Each structure stands twice: as structure tokens, then as C-alpha cells.
Structure 1
Amino acid sequence: MLGLAWSVFIKTKYTAVCTFVLDESDKEGMLGQYSGLASLAGIDLGGSGGGIFKGDNILELYKSRLMLKKTLLTETVINGKKQKLVDRYITSNRLMEEWKDDHIGPVNFNGDPEHFNRTQDSIITDITEKLNKKNLEVGKPDKKLSIIRVAFTAKDEVFAKLFTDQLVKNVNDFYVQTKTKKAALNVSILQHQADSVKRMLNLSISGVASGIDATPNANPALLILKVPSQRKQVDVQANTAIYSEMIKNLEISKISLRQQTPLIQFIDQPVFPLNDNHLSKLKAIVIGGLLAFVFSVIGLLALRLLRSVIMLSK
């Protein structure tokens, strides 16, 4: 009877599991021939940037309040309707009913998270702490490998899958952006400089043509007439040399960016139906019966031993 009651009244929990490989090995061999030129251009071709993620620190990033809060405030489409994950969590766990006893009215999480009031921040903090302690598991199945496993358990099957997918996406995007932030900034600066030099080169070429058009049949005895076009030609040559070096540095910087970008390859992603811990009624009755048999035997043996002790004492 207790086994049957357990099967009927204990709510089913669903577990969404995502595993992926993180490859962040440094491949510097191909860049060795460019290291001298890169250093002159102020470009770092080493594994700089994202040092905070060395070791297992990235695992803690999954449990950080920043990532959990960002995931909860993500808007998704559920049954054709847009809904934030935090609202789905509140609804599925019937938190509104609990808040009525604490005299907390309806709370929404629209607007800028940086300007949430005390109640909104308090609710988000409370939910993230519960998710960390009871729902979320992050680790490596084998410490020798680079495989990371993220498992999230919840009573709401839809919420479990959507939350896991969004959390993995948010953390991996943040990881890649931080890891490549310095290299991406170098590429952006060099691209802007190259575009500026190219515009000046185009203006210089136009200036040479304008100078020649201004004096199409210049008197060879009057060399002063050739000075404007010759000045523009010097500018063209200088800008051409500068632009050529800029393009080289830009390409080296792009190679560095590609080398520093980690590879994230998914192995398994959560799909419906999710694994659940539901215990069938038949299995619950059988387990309950076995436990009842074991405890009954133990009880009878203990009773028989007690009677033997009493008889000996008399």
C-alpha cells in the first residue's frame, strides 16, 4: 500500500541532459612564421584572453547567478505564445499561491533587468539559489576528457528542456565572446584603420587624375605645373605601401582570432520525451511487497529472539 501511494502521489520529475566537447587547444605552429610581423603590429598571437576559464572554472560559470538570471529572463515560444522562462517557472511551481501568504502581489519581469526593484531581484535570487541546489548538475563524466555534461531536473518537462537549451547557449556564447574579446578588438581596430587608409588612397588617386586633367597640355618648360600631380602621386605611393601592410596585419589578426576561437561540438542534446523518474504502480507494489516481506522476517526473528531471552531469564 505504501508503494502504491508513493507511485500515485509523488510527482514525476524530468531530466534534460546536454553533453558537448570543448576544444580550446592552442595551435601556434601555423602562426610561427607570422610572429615577428604580428609583434610589430601589436598583435598577440598567443592564447591570451579568457584566462579566467582555465581548468574547470567554466563549470562554475554554469552555476553563476549572471547566467542563471539571463536564462530565466529569456523569452521563448511555448504553445505558440511568448513567455519568459521565469514566468513559466513561477506558474509550474505555483509560487503565486505561496506569495499570497506573504502579501506579495503579482510580479512581472518586463523591462531592463538592471533597473529591477528589490522584490524582483529578491525573487530572481531565490529562484537561482533553488535551481543551483536542487535542479542543476554540471560536471565532467571523465576528468581526463573535455566532455562537459549539463543536467537539469524539473517537474515541468517543457521548462526542463527549454531551460537547459538556453542555459547552454548563453554560457557557451559568453565563453566564446570572452575568450576571443581581445583578438576580436584587434581585428575591429585594424579593419577600421585599413578602411581609412583605403579612403585616403582613393582620394589620392582621384587627386592625381584631377591634376593631370587640369593641365592636359602643360608647357614642358614650366615644371611648376606638374607639382600638384606629382605630390598626389607621392601620396598614392605612400598610401599604397601603408595599405598593403595594413592588409597583411589584418589577415594575421583574423588568423589569430580563428585560432583563439574554441570549438564547441554537441554530442547529445535534450529531446522529447525526457527521461523521468516515474515509478509504475506495478513496480511500486512489487517493491513495497518485497520490503514488507523483509521487514516482516526481521520483525519475526527479533520477536523470536526476544522470547528466547525471556524464557532463559525465567
Structure 2
Amino acid sequence: MGSNDSISVGGKQNGLSLKEIIISINGWSKYILSKWLVYIIVGIIGAGIGLLLASIQKDKYEANLTFVIENSQSGDLSSYAGLASQFGIDLGGTVRSGIFSGDNILEFLKSRMLIEKTLLLPIEKNGKGYSMADYYLNISDLKKESNSAISFPLEIPRAKLDRMQDSVLNIIYTKITESNLKISKLDKKLDFIQVRFTSKDELFSKIFTENLVKEAIDFYINTKIQRYNTNIDRLQMKADSIEKLLNQSTVELARIQDINLNAVRRVAGVSNELAQRNKTILQTMYIEVVKNLELTKISLVQERPIIQIIDKPLMPLKNVKIGKVRATFIGAFVSMVLAFMMVVVMKLYKNIMAE
């Protein structure tokens, strides 16, 4: 090309005239367009690579489950919390906190404890049962890669796993959290949580997603129930104890009244007054304890359920494998962009070397 086709890089002049800029742009345009055959050839090669990759890529099935966390409805009980605390009772539920508050739920759903618990659950295919851990080892080729004969029998307790099983389970957990499982909020202002699980097996994606969320819900409910049941048992014991004392006080008062039925001296009425006062105190305590007992039971009911499932994964699941047509166009486009950049770089290099 002539000298008009090159653009000065770090030239001797402090600036370029408008004519020189137009000539340089025209030179660059002609040079870039003159390489059209390179773009086509490279584009065809890229399209072929994209088509090849799409052909050898294995199917991937994505299961989506969306649920919403409800805010606690026990605000009406807050006025009774102080009263209940006098008896050592925590009604709870006035503020939603803990693992299900804020973004804690996102990390909890990816926790090792929860995922391992889910992996030890059973899954059935073609009438045969497997542990989900064994099933995952087979579909992910981890068993072949590690040449391991480690297996996880159905319904085996987590505490009974040996050292090798624990090691393999940790490998599965790491792979799932890094490659398969995605937890996100649909909107930062809302409590809608989306669980996405992608794997080569359609059935496993669906069952694992459902079981993971179910285990999380069960864990939360059981934790809540345990606390409330502890409070209920404590209150029930107090109520039974006070009721027993109240009954004894009633009998004692009746006995004293019978003895002093025809008494003349005033001192005879003192024991009667003391018995009456004790009975009144026990009645008041019994009423308050029973009230707190019923409030705790109401609070327990209001805490369930805390999570509502909005969307469940339904068969057939979405196949997220990239299509052949799309892969062909992407391969062609990316390769042509790279070819264009190489042409520009080579042109700059020639201009610099010609200075």
C-alpha cells in the first residue's frame, strides 16, 4: 500500500490535519475490508468448532424451586412476652431471626450439614433404591475418576460413616456447591428464594432440589417446635404443681372452716384467713400460668408453616445445553471478532515498524 494508507504513530508533527485524518481512516477502512476472505474463513472454522462443541456436550437439566419466607405473625403476642418472662418462659416469634433471617438462608441452603443430610436420603429409579450420594457418584463420574469402591448404603446415619466415606462425601459436597447448586434471591427487597440445581440426570436434579428445601424446612420447624415444646412442658409442670397445691389449699381451708364453725374467740379465725389468702394467691398464679401456657401453644401454631413453596420443578425439566444453531452462530461471531482484532493488531505493528 502507499504512504496514504498508513497512520502516523507518534509522528513528528504535534497534530494531524483534517485531510490527513480522513486519508488515514480511508486507508484503514480499505485495509480492513480487504481482509474479508480471512474473516469468512475464520468464521467458518469458528462455526465448525461451535457446532462440534455443541454436539459433544452432554445434556444438563436444571430444576428450579422458588419459596417465600413468611414474616412471623406473633406480633400480637409481644404484649404478653414480659408477663411470660416472669415465669422463665420465652414465647419467641416476636422477631424473625437466626438462620432464616436476611441472607442467612442463602448460606444455610449451601451448608455442608444440610447438603450431606440430603445426600444420605434415598432416591428410586426403575424400581431400585439408591442413596443420593451413590446416585450422584455414578452420574458425575466421580467414582470412575477416583477409582473408589466407596458406597453409601440406604438410610445410613451420618455418625456411622467411616473416614473414607466422610472424605468422599466432602468431595461430593464441594463439587455440588461449586458446579451444580445455585441459591439466589429474586429481588433484594423481597423474601423470595430461588434454588437451582443443574446436573446430567433429570430425576436427580428434581429430587435433590425438592429434598434440599424440605430438609431445610424440617430443620427450622423442628428447631422451633423443640423450643416451644420445652416452654410448653415447663409451663405444664408449673400448672400441674400449682393445681396440686391449690387443691390441697382448698381441702385445708374447708377443714379449718369445719373446725372453727362455732368458734367464739377471734384468734380461731386467723388460720381460716391465712388458708383463704394462700388459696387466693395460688388461684392467681394458676390462672397466669395457664394463660401463658395457652399463649405459647398459640404462638407455636402461628409459627407453622414458616415457608411456603411457590414453584416446584416439574418434569420434563429444562435442558440448559446450548443448541447447535446457537453454538454455530456464537462460534462464528466470536472467531470473526478475534480475526478482526488480529488484523488491527497486525496493521498497527506494521505501521510502528515502518516508522
Aligned: 1:273 with 2:319: no
Instruction: Give 1:260 shift.
Output: 4.3
Matched, 1:72 2:119: yes
Alignment-mate amino acid for residue 288 of structure 1: G
Residue matched to 2:59: 12
In the alignment, structure 2 segments of 5+ residues that lack a partner are 1-47, 252-275
Q: 1:313 to 1:139 in 2, by over 3 A?
A: closer
Provide the C-alpha distance between the structure 1 equivalents of 2:342 and 2:97, rounded to a whole number of angstroms: 61
Question: SS at the partner of 2:88?
Answer: coil
In the other structure, the counterpart of 2:152 is: 108
Instruction: Give distance in 2, aligned partners of 1:38 and 1:128.
Output: 43
Let me know the Cα RMSD of the aligned residues: 4.0
User: Cα–Cα, structure 1 residues 249 and 302, in superposed 2: closer, same or farther, change >3 Å?
Assistant: closer
Contact 1:49 1:182 in 2 (8 A): no
Asked if the contact 2:93–2:299 (Cα under 8 Å) also holds between the matched residues in 1, the reply is no
* SS across alignment from 1:170: helix
84 and 299 in structure 1: CA distance in 2 versus 1, 3 angstrom threshold: same
Matched, 1:87 2:134: yes
Corresponding position of 1:222: none
- Give the SS at the match of 2:65: strand
Task: Specify the alignment match of 1:39 in structure 2.
Answer: 85
TM-score, length of structure 1 as denominator length: 0.73
Deviates more, 1:78-87 or 1:286-295: 286-295
- 1:167-186 aligned at under 5 Å gives the runs 167-186=212-231
Identity of aligned residues (%): 39
Residue pairs, 1:220-299, within 5 angstroms: 241=283, 247-261=290-304, 263-295=306-338
Mapped contact 2:197–2:209 kept (Cα < 8 A): yes
**Does the aligned pair in 1 maintain the 2:60–2:321 contact within 8 Å?**
yes
The equivalent of 1:226 in structure 2 is none
Query: Residues 221 and 304 of structure 2 are in contact (CA less than 8 Å); yes or no, is this contact kept in structure 1?
Result: yes
Q: Which shows bigger deviation, 183-192 or 112-121?
A: 183-192
Whether 2:208 is the aligned partner of 1:163: answer yes
Sort the Cα spacing of 1:196 and 1:94 in 2 relative to 1 into closer, same or farther, 3 A: farther
Describe the SS at the equivalent of 1:83. Answer: strand
Shift of 1:112: 2.7
| Distance 1:177-1:293 versus aligned 2 partners, 3 A rule | same
Query: What residue in structure 1 maps to residue 189 of structure 2?
Result: 144
- Extract unaligned runs of 5+ from structure 1: 208-233
TM superposition shift of 1:146? 1.1
Deviation at 1:51, TM superposition (A): 4.4
Per-residue displacement from partner, 1:91-115 (whole Å, max 9, x unpaired)? 1122332232xxx334334533212
TM-superposed deviation, 1:12: 2.0
Letter in 2 for 1:137: K
Larger Rg: 2
Q: How many residues align?
A: 281
In 1, distance between residues paired with 2:240 and 2:110?
A: 42
1:165 match: secondary structure: helix
Cα distance in 1 between the residues matched to 2:74 and 2:312: 28
* Farther-moved stretch of structure 1 (132-141 vs 106-115): 106-115
